[in-house]
């Protein structure tokens, strides 16, 4: 039924008269490509073909009612090599369709997406048109400051609990969210609520700290009175300013013998935070987490500042907010979320990124189960089908069907973006690609207990700069170290790094069998430092010559057979059997090995400085008085990144 392919192409060209001059121009890529452009505009009433991206060759062939091999042949003429299951770009699809007299358009993906978004949009509108629905809400306060300035200890005093004692190396590893009740400073019979976020103070967690500031109303900047302003204090200050939130400075450690609150005020004034008692608008409170001095005053100042901000939200609507921290626990994925508006209830369907699920349980920081969480309340949510990234927005949607539809759409978008960013190998960059693959690569698999930690570690590892060694993170995820991690690491010669996580039973034996190294850490500094060391360990050691002795030739003794003996005096160090070089007027004239080393009639292994000896060097006989014989060794020195 099908005529031969050559005939096909001829008949196709017969249908389209303007295509005829293209035949001789085909071998010249320069002239072949511009040719189809005018043909796209030729048929005014041409039939339109629409395809959703990605434009797969098989689908295009179906729409054009042509055999896929024909379309592949057309693509080859255009210099595009693709099989039936591969995607092509829009411009190429337009050229192919024009050849068959069709106009090509990309179908926009927005169709249908609005249905899922609609409930969220509709809910946001009721906030604007009904100001009477807005009720006062509790302030969300983020505690920031330099590492070890007492942020967590201060929070413990506020919460009357002890978190700091359990932290590894005195570093907050995870974001904690706590809600407290406190008598209002002006309305004494009213209990006001405040939600505190404790963000990790380590530099590598700065991305999480930035998120902490984005969901916050007030920042409490903790500065130790004995240390003053430190690098991370300035970093925290910049985050707070970027989020455009008011800052209250807590000058901590006032009980310390070296405390100097005045110095702190002066340093911060230089940074633009003018204390209120010096005529500025920044509240400074002097506190001591150990003696509880000024802690109540700090909370009162937070509440007064919150009153000025007039924080309000509508609790009678579908909940919306942000994920503060997420992790994988024995019961499944968990996400600590901060509700910004609306009320989150057990049984609600929430979507967060491309994960969704029905809320099975809401748990507060005291491990108590709640039925609902209103605005400014932070709760741990159970019921999502995956671990969302910290900082993502979550929203309650109508039902599971719309959540699933939106989830699929977001997954597809993420997949397409991933396809676009994938690095293609071309003839031009082939050699560069091959060369780069030959460079030293340290491959790692990162597993941690929370998403925030995973991101922070990956960020910190990516910041390790080296021209000689590249670091490749082949997988990073939340959870325990499993057999699949070991299989992946084994297949790609990687090391598994675990942070605040454990190894599943039987996995350690499997790793031993596969020769995969698993390293567990509790402190992020150690993890980063060890990775740097192992990257340096991949480099070839530098060979360094170390001279440990030299001798001067004073007399030459000719022997009846064999090479002559040089009568020498050891001028420095020691002469020992091994590698030597002969220098004459500073020029090296010979390198070799000592054949024999004698002191009087005895063969010895070494001769110290100031003593005389006889030296015979293998294969060298042209000694002259005044030559210097140097003994040296070659040492391997580890390279630095």
Which among 439, 537, 127 is positioned nearest to 312, based on CA atoms?
A: 127
| 573/607 Cα distance (integer angstroms) | 9
Identical fold between 320-414 and 542-637: yes
SS3 630: strand
Q: Identify the band that residue 318 occupies on the pLDDT scale cut at 50, 70 and 90.
A: confident
Task: Find out whether 550 and 599 touch, Cβ atoms under 8 Å.
Answer: no
User: Phi/psi zone of residue 291: left (φ > 0), alpha (ψ -120 to 50 degrees), beta?
Assistant: alpha
Task: Find out whether 454 and 477 touch, Cβ atoms under 8 Å.
Answer: yes
Which pLDDT value is given to residue 252? Answer: 86
> Which token pair is 147?
């590492």
The residue-averaged pLDDT of 627-638 equals 89
Q: Identify the band that residue 439 occupies on the pLDDT scale cut at 50, 70 and 90.
A: low
The residue-averaged pLDDT of 345-366 equals 88
Specify the range with the lowest mean pLDDT, choosing from 25-34, 134-143, 204-213, 547-556.
25-34
Q: Is the pLDDT assigned to residue 628 strictly greater than 70?
A: yes
Which pLDDT value is given to residue 639? Answer: 73
Task: Tell me the pLDDT tens digit for each residue of 197-238.
Answer: 766 543 334 454 445 546 788 888 888 888 888 877 887 787
Which among 143, 125, 55 is positioned nearest to 97, based on CA atoms?
A: 55
Q: Identify the band that residue 90 occupies on the pLDDT scale cut at 50, 70 and 90.
A: confident
Residue bearing the bigger pLDDT, 115 or 145: 145
Three-state SS letters, 117-135: HHHHHHHHHHHHHCHHHCE
| 123/344 Cα distance (integer angstroms) | 14
**Beta strands at 469-478 and 602-603: parallel, antiparallel or unpaired:** unpaired
| 342/380 Cα distance (integer angstroms) | 16
Could you give the dihedral angle defined by the CA atoms of residues 226, 232, 233 and 239, in that order, rounded to the nearest 10 degrees?
A: -170
| 301/308 Cα distance (integer angstroms) | 11
| 96/100 Cα distance (integer angstroms) | 7
| 144/197 Cα distance (integer angstroms) | 9
Cα(first)–Cα(last) distance of the chain, in Å? Answer: 67
| 623/613 Cα distance (integer angstroms) | 15
Which pLDDT value is given to residue 572? Answer: 93
Q: Where do the structural domains in the chain lie, given as residue ranges?
A: 5-106, 135-312, 320-414, 437-538, 542-637
Specify the range with the lowest mean pLDDT, choosing from 151-165, 399-413, 573-587.
151-165
Could you give the dihedral angle defined by the CA atoms of residues 210, 211, 214 and 215, in that order, rounded to the nearest 10 degrees?
A: -140
Task: Please give the radius of gyration of the chain, using alpha carbons only, rounded to the nearest integer.
Answer: 37
Residue with tokens 């599943």: 504
Q: Which residues pair with 345 in a beta bridge?
A: 372
> Which token pair is 503?
């190894």
At the top level of CATH, which class does the domain 320-414 belong to? mainly beta
| 16/20 Cα distance (integer angstroms) | 8
Which pLDDT value is given to residue 200? Answer: 55
Specify the range with the lowest mean pLDDT, choosing from 20-34, 150-164, 208-222, 431-445.
20-34
Q: Identify the band that residue 425 occupies on the pLDDT scale cut at 50, 70 and 90.
A: low
Q: Is the pLDDT assigned to residue 9 strictly greater than 70?
A: no
Which pLDDT value is given to residue 225? Answer: 85
Task: Tell me the pLDDT tens digit for each residue of 553-563.
Answer: 999 998 888 78
The residue-averaged pLDDT of 18-34 equals 41
Q: Identify the band that residue 574 occupies on the pLDDT scale cut at 50, 70 and 90.
A: very high
| 247/98 Cα distance (integer angstroms) | 62
The residue-averaged pLDDT of 155-160 equals 79
Task: Find out whether 366 and 379 touch, Cβ atoms under 8 Å.
Answer: no
Which pLDDT value is given to residue 463? Answer: 82
Task: Find out whether 336 and 177 touch, Cβ atoms under 8 Å.
Answer: yes
Q: Is the pLDDT assigned to residue 437 strictly greater than 70?
A: no
Q: Identify the band that residue 165 occupies on the pLDDT scale cut at 50, 70 and 90.
A: very low
Residue bearing the bigger pLDDT, 472 or 147: 472
Residue bearing the bigger pLDDT, 286 or 42: 286
Which pLDDT value is given to residue 473? Answer: 86
Specify the range with the lowest mean pLDDT, choosing from 231-235, 250-254, 592-596.
231-235
The residue-averaged pLDDT of 370-375 equals 88
Alpha-helical segments (H) within 336-443: 400-421, 427-438
The residue-averaged pLDDT of 345-350 equals 90
Q: Is the pLDDT assigned to residue 196 strictly greater than 90?
A: no
The residue-averaged pLDDT of 170-176 equals 44
Q: Is the pLDDT assigned to residue 374 strictly greater than 60?
A: yes
Which among 529, 560, 550 is positioned nearest to 613, based on CA atoms?
A: 550
The residue-averaged pLDDT of 17-21 equals 43
Which pLDDT value is given to residue 594? Answer: 92
Q: Is the pLDDT assigned to residue 592 strictly greater than 60?
A: yes
Fold of 135-312: Rossmann fold (3.40.50)
Which pLDDT value is given to residue 1? Answer: 52
Residue with tokens 């013998």: 257
Main-chain dihedrals φ then ψ at residue 39, nearest 5 degrees = -65, -25
Q: Is the pLDDT assigned to residue 178 strictly greater than 60?
A: yes
Q: Identify the band that residue 126 occupies on the pLDDT scale cut at 50, 70 and 90.
A: very low
% of the chain residues with pLDDT over 70: 80
Task: Find out whether 154 and 250 touch, Cβ atoms under 8 Å.
Answer: yes
User: Which segments of 175-286 are extended strands (E)?
Assistant: 176-183, 191-198, 218-224, 247-252, 283-286
Task: Find out whether 384 and 344 touch, Cβ atoms under 8 Å.
Answer: no
Q: Max CA-CA distance within the chain?
A: 118
Residue bearing the bigger pLDDT, 145 or 358: 358
The residue-averaged pLDDT of 362-387 equals 86
Q: Is the pLDDT assigned to residue 29 strictly greater than 60?
A: no
The residue-averaged pLDDT of 92-119 equals 67
Which pLDDT value is given to residue 573? Answer: 92
Question: Which residues 6+ apart lie within 8 Å of 31 measured at CB?
Answer: 25
Which pLDDT value is given to residue 555? Answer: 93
Q: Is the pLDDT assigned to residue 123 strictly greater than 50?
A: no
Which pLDDT value is given to residue 420? Answer: 58
Task: Tell me the pLDDT tens digit for each residue of 450-494.
Answer: 888 888 888 888 887 777 778 888 888 888 898 888 888 888 788
Q: Identify the band that residue 430 occupies on the pLDDT scale cut at 50, 70 and 90.
A: low
For domain 437-538, say whether CATH 3.30.428.10 is its number. Answer: no
Which pLDDT value is given to residue 549? Answer: 94
Three-state SS letters, 66-89: CCHHHHHHHHHHCCCCCCCCCEEC
625: preceding bond cis by omega (within 30 degrees):
no
The residue-averaged pLDDT of 161-171 equals 41
Task: Find out whether 178 and 198 touch, Cβ atoms under 8 Å.
Answer: yes
Task: Find out whether 508 and 485 touch, Cβ atoms under 8 Å.
Answer: no
HSE, side-chain direction, 13 A CA sphere, residue 183: 7
What superfamily would CATH give domain 542-637?
A: Translation factors (2.40.30.10)
């Amino acid at each position: 039924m099908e005529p031969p392919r050559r005939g096909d192409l001829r008949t196709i060209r017969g249908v389209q008269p303007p295509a005829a001059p293209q035949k001789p121009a085909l071998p010249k890529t320069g002239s072949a490509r511009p040719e189809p452009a005018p043909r796209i505009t030729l048929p005014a009433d041409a039939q339109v073909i629409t395809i959703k991206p990605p434009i797969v060759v098989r689908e295009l062939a179906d729409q054009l009612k042509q055999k896929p091999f024909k379309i592949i042949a057309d693509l080859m003429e255009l210099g595009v090599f693709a099989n039936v299951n591969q995607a092509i770009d829009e411009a190429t699809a337009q050229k192919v369709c024009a050849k068959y007299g069709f106009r090509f358009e990309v179908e926009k993906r927005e169709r249908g997406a609005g249905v899922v978004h609609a409930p969220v949009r509709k809910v946001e509108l009721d906030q604007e048109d009904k100001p009477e629905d807005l009720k006062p809400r509790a302030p969300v306060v983020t505690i920031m400051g330099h590492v070890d300035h007492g942020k967590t200890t201060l929070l413990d005093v506020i919460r009357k609990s002890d978190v700091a004692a359990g932290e590894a190396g005195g570093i907050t590893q995870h974001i904690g969210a706590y809600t407290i009740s406190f008598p209002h400073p002006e309305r004494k019979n009213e209990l006001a609520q405040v939600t505190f976020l404790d963000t990790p103070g380590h530099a590598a967690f700065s991305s999480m700290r930035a998120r902490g500031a984005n969901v916050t109303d007030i920042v409490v900047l903790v500065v130790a009175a004995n240390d003053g302003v430190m690098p991370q204090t300035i970093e925290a200050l910049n985050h707070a300013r970027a989020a455009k939130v008011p800052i209250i400075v807590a000058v901590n450690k006032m009980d310390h013998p070296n405390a100097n609150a005045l110095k702190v005020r002066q340093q911060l004034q230089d940074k633009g935070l003018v204390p209120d008692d010096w005529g500025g608008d920044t509240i400074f409170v002097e506190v001591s987490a150990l003696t509880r001095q000024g802690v109540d005053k700090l909370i009162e100042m937070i509440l007064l500042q919150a009153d000025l901000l007039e924080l309000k939200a509508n609790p009678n609507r579908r909940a919306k907010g942000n994920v503060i921290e997420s992790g994988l626990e024995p019961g499944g994925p968990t996400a600590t979320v901060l509700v910004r508006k609306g009320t989150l209830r057990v049984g609600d369907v929430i979507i967060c990124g491309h994960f969704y699920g029905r809320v099975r349980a809401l748990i507060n920081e005291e491990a108590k189960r709640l039925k609902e969480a209103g605005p400014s309340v932070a709760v741990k949510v159970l019921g999502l089908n995956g671990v969302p990234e910290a900082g993502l927005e979550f929203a309650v949607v109508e039902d599971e069907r719309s959540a699933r539809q939106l989830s699929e759409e977001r997954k597809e978008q993420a997949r397409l973006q991933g396809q676009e960013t994938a690095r293609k190998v071309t003839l031009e960059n082939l050699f560069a690609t091959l060369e780069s693959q030959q460079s030293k690569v340290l491959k790692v698999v990162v597993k941690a207990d929370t998403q925030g930690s995973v991101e922070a570690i990956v960020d910190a590892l990516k910041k390790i700069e080296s021209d000689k060694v590249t670091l490749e993170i082949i997988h990073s995820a939340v959870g325990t170290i499993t057999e699949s991690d070991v299989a992946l690491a084994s297949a790609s010669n990687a090391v598994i790094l675990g942070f605040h996580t454990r190894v599943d039973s039987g996995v350690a034996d499997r790793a031993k069998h596969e020769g995969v190294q698993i390293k567990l850490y509790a402190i992020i500094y150690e993890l980063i430092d060890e990775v740097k060391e192992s990257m340096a360990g991949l480099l070839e050691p530098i060979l360094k010559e170390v001279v440990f002795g030299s001798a001067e030739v004073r007399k030459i003794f000719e022997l009846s057979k064999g090479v002559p003996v040089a009568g020498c005096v050891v001028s420095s160090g020691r002469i020992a059997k091994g590698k030597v070089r002969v220098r004459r007027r500073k020029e090296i004239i010979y390198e070799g090995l000592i054949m024999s080393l004698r002191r009087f009639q005895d063969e010895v292994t070494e001769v110290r400085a100031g003593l005389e000896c006889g030296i015979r060097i293998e294969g060298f006989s042209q000694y002259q008085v005044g030559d210097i014989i140097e003994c040296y060794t070659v040492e391997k020195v580890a390279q630095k990144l």
